[in-house]
Structure 1
Amino acid sequence: MKLRIAATAVALTTVIAACGAQQAGGGAAGAWPRKGKPITLIVAFAPGAAVDAAARVVAPVLEKELGTNVEVENRPGAGGLIGYTALSKSRPDGYTIGATSSPSIVISPLDPSRGATYTRASFQPLGMQVLDPMLVGVAPDSPYQNLKDLIEAVKAKPKSVTVTTTGVQTGEHFALADIQQKTQAQFAPVHFSEGAASAIAAFLGKHVDAYVGNVSDVKPHVAQGKIKVLGVMGAERSPFLPDVPTFAEQGYQIDAATARGYVAPAGVPAEVRTKIEAALKKAIEDPAVVAKMKDLGLPTVYKSGQDYTTYWAGQESNYKQALPLVRNEKG
């Protein structure tokens, strides 16, 4: 009798443990997302920015794959710091993810003066969607016909040309610092912390002399004759701007691009994360999404969550070395 009771107790304990494991593991993924519970997709930049545009193209397909609404929520400001902070503090249950732009999300916690409360380890990369080269552009009626004209003019008269970035220690800021360090031309940076939409508006309004940003930012404006691109910071010419030479072609060894993708706050259960990653891969590689991205001037370059993590680590290493170059360039 005692043996039978003991055996029953052991069996009951095993069942309870199995149920707990199921809830913490596969059962959590199986029940996720709950019917009617939406997923919030935080964008750390203003509406109209490239990272926002990419997220809004992906969201409808992501909804279809996951079977629930995906609500894009913009949290702009401080070069992405506000949105990234909100994302890092979100509950790691899969119901809040973020559309991010790196190197900004990688760079912001590297300098204590920025006051970031998160680190790279605060996030779990889910997949990369875009690799968008940077460029330098000027007004169509500008006297500068090529990079050499611009750089020589600034070398002759330091700080005489204002130039946009999307905030202190963002990718554009680091690209500008690299240009200055390698050419000895000292520009006057003007930082627009809400993102590319504000920067391009200021440039088009003739409040800033030159624009540093991504190919996707200017593609429609080039077509309308509103900006003259002097050089692209890629290993090869952009298919969206085939007539524009690279920096390297003009004798300047500068290569810079923005990677855009998706992350979750660290700690999301592995099974839930796997489900989101799979849905993102299908959404990013969906032919209709790829076509829409191409129309926006955003080249699709997919990387898995693991590969995106590795890419982030490489960026962190590179920008740690470059950080001293931008500390005295806060505009």
Structure 2
Amino acid sequence: MALTGCGANAGAANNTGGDFPKKGKSIDLIVAFGSGGAVDTAARLVQPILEKELGTNVEVINKPGAGGQIGYTALTSAKPDGYTIGATGSPSVVVSPLDPSRGAKYSRSSFQPLGRQVIDPTVIAVQPDSPYKTLKELLEAVKAKPKSLTASTTGLQTGEHFAMAQIQEATGSEFAPVHFSEGASQATTAFLGKHVDVLVANVSDVTDLTKQGKARVLGVMTGERAPSLPDVPTFKESGYDLVAGTVRGYSAPAGLPDDVAKKLEAALQKAIEDPAVKEKMAALGLQTSYLSGADYEKFWAGQEEDFKKVLPLVQKKD
């Protein structure tokens, strides 16, 4: 099934969604992770503007579990009529159908990308009283004693898990991953309770923790320092040329009518690029990086090829 939401026929009929959405019929926005995390927060920021643009209620529905797979299954199983859309984040949405052991009932072609919202770089953080003051100190300690420190992820084969695999491959430093499949809130709670040694997360997850003195961020896996964490060096500055992060956007089940897809895309672009939304996202450490549905689709395809190469590092071993 082709991902044609933004294809050549999208504007051919010269209509704007016909009677979509029908009066009184609400739209479900599925979030495949628990409430309170970055995915949920971003969805709830765009929600009121989507309601205004589409003229109907938009209900955010959390369906956490299995590193996003439960929510993505619900999204792709829904009727492609525009009344069910969902937040999609990679690596989880890209990788889960690539690993046969996951048993995913969907593939990339099951989704119709509607627009990308943000790129959220990965960070490594430790407790404020941790003996490790720099990224180099931490990674050298773990290299000397592999799996001596536990580190959080938001589920098997999620962004944090891939980041750990990249670190291990490049430096020989192997953490012991602990997977919290309901999302960032669950992982953060475990870290704050000192149930894991290291918080592997995204910039948006640690911005407030840093301000409150509840975490010490040692490195950001991006080319430039994060605006919300100006004092935290990049991995590259610490001598490790590694880049990782989570990319988030919105999609529908594949097969949307072109006019409905066009209307949803336009509403999402308005919501994502709204100045007040961008400002609130920036305050959370989330840098808006909008792409249209067609461009998000191309980006997604490129990610799929990239992740295929490193997938063996994060697959379950018997």
Q: In the alignment, what sits opposite 2:231?
A: 243
Aligned residues: 306
8 Å CA contact retained: 1:189, 1:329? no
The one-letter amino acid of 1:160's match is: S
Mapped to 1, the partners of 2:265 and 2:307 lie a distance apart of 27
Q: Which has the higher contact order (CA 8 A, sep 6+)?
A: 2
Which secondary structure does the structure 2 equivalent of 1:249 belong to? coil
Q: In the alignment, what sits opposite 2:136?
A: 148
Q: In the alignment, what sits opposite 2:10?
A: none
Query: Among 166, 179, 182, which residue is 1:194 paired with?
Result: 182
Q: How does 1:1-331 map to 2 (within 5 A)?
A: 29-328=17-316
8 Å CA contact retained: 2:91, 2:246? yes
Measure how far apart 1:27 and its partner are: 6.7
Identity %: 66
8 Å CA contact retained: 2:164, 2:174? no
Which secondary structure does the structure 1 equivalent of 2:123 belong to? strand
Cα RMSD (Å):
1.2
The one-letter amino acid of 1:118's match is: Y
The structure with the largest helix share of the pair is 1
* Larger Rg over CA atoms: 1
The one-letter amino acid of 2:130's match is: S
Measure how far apart 1:171 and its partner are: 1.1
Mapped to 1, the partners of 2:23 and 2:155 lie a distance apart of 39
Mapped to 2, the partners of 1:178 and 1:245 lie a distance apart of 18
Measure how far apart 1:328 and its partner are: 4.6
Structure 1's consecutive aligned runs of 4 or more residues displaced over 6 angstroms after TM superposition are: 25-28
Which secondary structure does the structure 2 equivalent of 1:240 belong to? coil
- Tell me the TM-score normalized by structure 1: 0.91
Which secondary structure does the structure 1 equivalent of 2:281 belong to? helix
Mapped to 2, the partners of 1:238 and 1:186 lie a distance apart of 25
The one-letter amino acid of 2:76's match is: S
Unaligned ranges ≥5, structure 2: 1-12
8 Å CA contact retained: 1:140, 1:228? yes
Measure how far apart 1:291 and its partner are: 1.2
The one-letter amino acid of 1:275's match is: K
